[in-house]
Amino acid sequence: MAHIVVVGAGLGGTPAAYELRERLPKNHRVTLVNATDYFQFVPSNPWLAVGWRERAQITVPIGPCLARKDIGFVAKAVTQIDAGANRLTLDGGEALDYDYLVITTGPKLSFNEVPGAGPLSAGGGGFTHSVCSVDHAQAFFADYQTFLENPGPVVVGAMPGASCFGPAYEFAFILDTDLRRRKLRHKVPITYVTSEPYIGHLGLGGVGDSKSMLESEMRNRDMKWITNAKTTKVEEGKMFATQLDDLGNLYKEHELGFKISMMLPAFKGVDAVAAVPNLCNPRGFVLIDEFQRSKAYRNIFSAGVCVAIPPVEVTPVPTGTPKTGYMIESMVSAIAHNIADELAGKPAQAKGTWNAICLADMGDTGAAFVALPQIPPRNVNWFKKGKWVHLAKIAFEKYFLRKIRYGISEPVYEKYVLKALGIVRLVEKKQA
Ligand SMILES: Cc1cc2nc3c(=O)[nH]c(=O)nc-3n(C[C@H](O)[C@H](O)[C@H](O)COP(=O)(O)OP(=O)(O)OC[C@H]3O[C@@H](n4cnc5c(N)ncnc54)[C@H](O)[C@@H]3O)c2cc1C
């Protein structure tokens, strides 16, 4: 009998626990360990930040859902991983042994790389907000109430080294929509400040016509933008950014006044994972092979934001590659297949497709992109805008939360609809 421990009950880890339970014979144990006792649907945080969602609508107390599927749950942070001894230390000192470890701990939000940035509660300087967690989105909403009484300039964007740009665009457009509905938009100049070399780069070197479509959307919504921006410091109501040209030379220094700001930070690996000898790259992301297995430890697998992926291309201000939901699920499926095969005495051979699909809400409309594969040149490379994306995103939220509540690992929608679009989780063995 083997004990498989999954660390991190997010978009990757929770489906990983369900899929492992479904694939493995009952004599093997599956336990999910998470820093909190709830699952949060991160993609809905921008809606929470402007009051379009309540916290309870996008969080799920996860323990009872897992118990119904015979999956163990521990609501404690892992503070140490002893990969040699196959042992975790949990917050409070308790030990938990594993035979296989699946690391899905998501990002450490590295606010302190820019002095003054990020919520105080997350170790930041307190002058900008984030929507990376439900707590951060709620904190934005609290300050937004005061802002609405006396509105002024807003800065939204992504810091140097950020890899997750979709939500920064989403948030700018959602905020714009919310302010228009409140008839306050004319009092709020919005500037989008990003480390991307051009609008629509998205950490992916662009997808289809993302550059012209997102630029056009920003022009239509009266938003200004600064690209190649290296935000250097934030003070109360003021952001400092050095803009580089395409060769990486100084182009312009900016001092931007704001009343409220949301800037996505650079990501790193979480401390307990980053501290394991030989497991990670210098930023603490897990180094894995094509089977999602650690390059250093054969019984450790990893998926999601916490794995190391090289940037799609070098940019004047550093940017990373996003890891989107469906790509993460493809990694998770590969892990479940590989652990099941190993336990059955067969070699691990499943590889995730890592196809990037993203639905980005824009408040009243939305933009979707599909990049197959993620690294160009691509077989499928499209970016489309329409109200249907806004509706699809709402449907996706409902569908994913249902999947988490009821422990469904790959329901009909994915199996048939996405497959019909040529979007599958695993690389077919004959292509491998
Ligand atoms: C605001 C935002 C919006 C996004 N929107 C989309 C979208 O619309 N579509 C899309 O495809 N992608 C989106 N993404 C990208 C990506 O899908 C999400 O970031 C996703 O949540 C990543 O999943 P994950 O499992 O890697 O990490 P997470 O979902 O962040 O889960 C990590 C989990 O690990 C836990 N954890 C961390 N450290 C420890 C520890 N030491 N011990 C125990 N538990 C620990 C955390 O508590 C958390 O529950 C978005 C990202 C952000 C930030």
Does residue 64 have a cis peptide bond before it, meaning omega lies within 30 degrees of 0?
A: no
Condensed to tens digits (0 to 9), the pLDDT of residues 295-314 reads 999 999 999 999 999 888 99
Q: How many CB atoms lie within 10 A of CB 276?
A: 22
Residue type, 71: I
Q: What is the mean pLDDT of residues 24-45?
A: 98
> Which of 93, 128, 83, 89 minimizes the C-alpha distance to 109?
128
Q: Separation of 95 CA from ligand 1 center, angstroms?
A: 25
Residue 114: pLDDT band with limits 50, 70, 90:
very high
Which of 65, 132, 306, 358 is an active site residue? 358
**Which residues, including other chains, have CB under 8 Å from residue 80's CB and lie 6 or more apart?**
88, 89, 272, 275
The three-class DSSP label of residue 284 is coil
Q: What percentage of the chain reaches a pLDDT higher than 70?
A: 95
- CA 73 to chain CA centroid, Å, is 23
**pLDDT for 224:** 98
Is residue 368 within 8 A of residue 389, CB to CB? The reply is: yes
Token pair 């939360």 is at which residue?
A: 401
Question: What's the pLDDT at 377?
Answer: 85
Peptide bond into 311 cis (omega under 30): no
Q: Is 118 in the pocket of ligand 1 (CB under 6 A)?
A: no
Global model pTM greater than 0.75: yes
Asked if 44 and 51 count as a contact pair (C-beta separation under 8 A), the reply is: no
The number of the ligand 1 atom at minimal distance from the alpha carbon of 303 is 26
> Could you tell me which residue, 249 or 379, shows the higher pLDDT?
249
Which parts of 227-360 fold into alpha helices (H)? 271-274, 325-343
Torsion over CA: 253, 259, 262, 267 (sign): positive
- Is the predicted pLDDT of residue 116 greater than 50, yes or no? yes
Least confident of 168-177, 188-197, 284-293, 411-420: 411-420
Question: Does the annotation count 164 as an active-site position?
Answer: yes
Phi, psi of 38 (to 5 degrees): -130, 155
Q: What integer pLDDT is reported at residue 421 of this predicted model?
A: 55
10 Å CB burial of residue 208 (0-12, 13-18, 19+) is: middle
Secondary structure of residue 385 in the 3-state scheme: strand
Atom of ligand 1 nearest to the CA of 76: 43
**Ramachandran bin of 118, using left for φ above 0, alpha for ψ from -120 to 50, beta for the remaining angles:** left
Collapsed DSSP state (helix, strand, coil) of residue 16: helix
How confident is the model over 74-96, as a mean pLDDT? 98
Residue with tokens 């938009």: 185
H-assigned helices in 184-322:
210-220, 271-274
CB atoms within 10 A of CB 323: 26
- Strand partners for 352: 426
Query: Ligand 1 mean position to 84 CA, how many Å?
Result: 27
Task: Find all residues with CB under 8 Å of 373, minimum gap 6, and list them.
Answer: 353, 354, 355, 379
N-to-C CA span, the chain? 30
Judged by average pLDDT, the poorest of 43-52, 150-159, 308-317 is 308-317
DSSP 8-state symbol, 366: E
Instruction: Report CA(257)–ligand 1 centroid distance (Å).
Output: 31
pLDDT value at position 187?
Answer: 98
Instruction: Quick: pLDDT tens for 52-74.
Output: 999 999 999 999 999 999 999 99
pLDDT band at 432 (very low <50, low <70, confident <90, very high): very low
In the predicted model, what is the mean pLDDT of residues 381-393?
A: 89
365's tokens = 């409309």
Most ligand 1 atoms within 8 A of CB, residue of 5, 19, 32, 42 to mutate: 42
| Ligand 1 atom nearest residue 360's Cα | 8
C-alpha neighbours within 13 Å on the C-beta side of residue 211: 9
Q: Stretch 323-347: mean pLDDT, rounded?
A: 94
Q: What is the pLDDT of residue 422?
A: 60
Model pLDDT, residue 358: 84
Going by CA atoms, what residue is nearest to atom 25 of ligand 1? 12
Q: Based on the residue annotation, tell me whether 358 is a catalytic residue of this protein.
A: yes
For 167-208, how does the pLDDT look when each residue is reduced to its tens digit (9 = 90+)? 999 999 999 999 999 999 999 999 999 999 999 999 999 999
Q: Do 244 and 195 contact (CB within 8 A), yes or no?
A: no
- Residue 167 Cβ contacting ligand 1 at under 6 Å: yes
370 or 274, higher pLDDT = 274
Inform me whether the pLDDT recorded for 413 exceeds 90.
no
Residue 414 has pLDDT above 80, yes or no: no
Is the shortest distance between the CB of 90 and ligand 1 below 6 Å? no
Q: Mean pLDDT of all residues in the chain? A: 94
pLDDT for residue 430 is more than 60: no
> Which among 8, 236, 251, 270 is positioned nearest to 127, based on CA atoms?
236
106 CA → ligand 1 middle, Å: 5
Distance of CA 372 to the CA centre of its chain: 18
CA-to-CA separations, 27 to 6, 15, 70, 73, 382, in angstroms, rounded:
17, 20, 11, 17, 45
pLDDT given at position 306:
98
Residue 431's pLDDT is 42
Give residue limits of the domains in the chain. Answer: 111-264
Q: Is the CB of 302 under 6 A from ligand 1?
A: no
Q: Which of 65, 164, 280, 306 is catalytic?
A: 164
Q: What share of the chain is helix, strand, coil (3-state, %, to 5)?
A: 30, 25, 40
How far, in Å, is the centroid of ligand 1 from the Cα of 225?
27
pLDDT band for position 419 (cuts 50, 70, 90): low
Per DSSP bridges, beta strands 95-97 and 87-90 are antiparallel
Answer yes or no: CATH 3.50.50.60 is held by domain 111-264. yes
Which residues neighbour 346 within 8 Å (Cβ) at sequence distance 6 or greater? none
